[in-house]
Structure 1
Amino acid sequence: MLKKEFALASSFAFYLLTAFGISLTISAGVGVSSFNSLNLSLAYLSHLKIGTVTILVNGSFLFAYICLTNFKLKGTYLRQLIALLAFGQVINFFSYQILGNFTLNSYPLKLSIFILGLALAGFGTGMVLNLHVLTFPIEGVCLILAEKTAFTFKQLRYSIDLFSVAFSLLVTLMTSAPLVVREGTFLSLFLLSFFISQTKLSFDQKKAP
């Protein structure tokens, strides 16, 4: 029982660490990851905070996950809901209350903050995936759809990223929204998956006898 509670608490902590990492990438101002470009563009259009939009978008994926699993995993749904609500609030807190008060004038510093944010987000995500207690709603939906369709998880996940980038660019072209698909977006394509895979590799090596 204690092991399960510790795993849940650890997963929750790593979930929030991921949110803090995302806040750093947003505040760096050199672009954001593919999915977060969608959230930022929606935040601009709706005049809502980025963390609030993140809750709503992730909530829509959680609802899709609930439907795809036929409402059978009530405990899982509740944990996911609590986690994603906290996730968005952490992004709001750090993006607006803490990091919003700082101005980064040096491009190398901006890039360093962005990479640090990616590393923290990648580590947090990797640990959440390793512990198998919580998951991220998007990944959960993609996993279920991969089981039910001819598409692979990777194809489904990349299609969401492509849609996110295309939508964000369209918003920028058609409105006065700032461009958030930048060099950081392309860096995240390589570095985020690298940090996640390295975290998983290190975790697996420690578990090995």
Structure 2
Amino acid sequence: MNYTLKGLGYSIFFYMFTAVGISLVIEAAVGVSCLDAMNLSISEISKFKIGTLTIFSNFLFIIGDILITRFSNPIKYVLQGISILALGIVINIIIYYIFPHVNINNYSVKLFLYILGTLIAGVSIGAIIKLNFLSFPVENFCLTISEKYKISFVKIRYSIDVIALIASIILSYSFELPFFIREGTIIGMIMFSPIVNFTKDKVKF
């Protein structure tokens, strides 16, 4: 197995493991990330599955990157697309075919699920960053804009989160949906980056 195949295999594996973490966070229902909150709001309105919307939204970032870079790295775009498809499919399987058979009403259990899901997602994304083979489309899109237009990566990334946050709140108000930005969102903001950084620094392949 050469490095390319090894890197691709590990990356797709951790993409799918990330999907497990995201699914646990969603099922906990105590708050999700800004982008996931927007996708959940749209899912409630449109009845599209959340994994399907996760695929769609990430594909938009891939298309944005393609337009800015003028299709300079077709292999990367194809591999990102495959990884995102795996991510969304696993989310749909867990959310719509596994969790409906599980009834969780206790808040402490939900909070545990949320923390476990955040831990799994953080470790998986940290491993993906360490592999440096397939970055997530949203981060890759922000990096492309940052390098091309000399704008801070952090500012671009936060801007996307703010837009998604506002969209989620507006949709919740307009269509009388549950609010997906909750206490778990704050817990995730505190936990997530340290977990990613720790994994990135410690994991070895």
User: What is the TM-score with the length of structure 1 in the denominator?
Assistant: 0.94
The equivalences for 1:38-187 within 5 A come to 38-187=38-187
Deviations 1:19-59 (A, max 9, x none): 11000000011111121101111111211000011111101
Cα shift at 1:100: 2.4
Moved over 4 A (4+): none
Cα shift at 1:11: 0.8
Tell me, yes or no, if the aligned pair for 2:12 and 2:86 is still in contact at 8 Å. Answer: no
Q: Which amino acid aligns with 2:126?
A: G
CA RMSD of aligned residues (A): 1.3
Does 2:6 match 1:6? yes
Partner of 2:28: 28
Tell me, yes or no, if the aligned pair for 2:43 and 2:49 is still in contact at 8 Å. Answer: yes
Tell me, yes or no, if the aligned pair for 2:21 and 2:117 is still in contact at 8 Å. Answer: yes
Cα shift at 1:115: 0.5
The 2-side partners of 1:149 and 1:186 are apart by 31
User: What is the TM-score with the length of structure 2 in the denominator?
Assistant: 0.96
Deviations 1:138-185 (A, max 9, x none): 001100111122421111111111111111111111112111111111
Aligned length: 205
Cα shift at 1:196: 0.7
Cα shift at 1:3: 2.4
Q: Point out where structure 2 has 5 or more consecutive residues left out of the alignment.
A: none
The 2-side partners of 1:151 and 1:41 are apart by 30
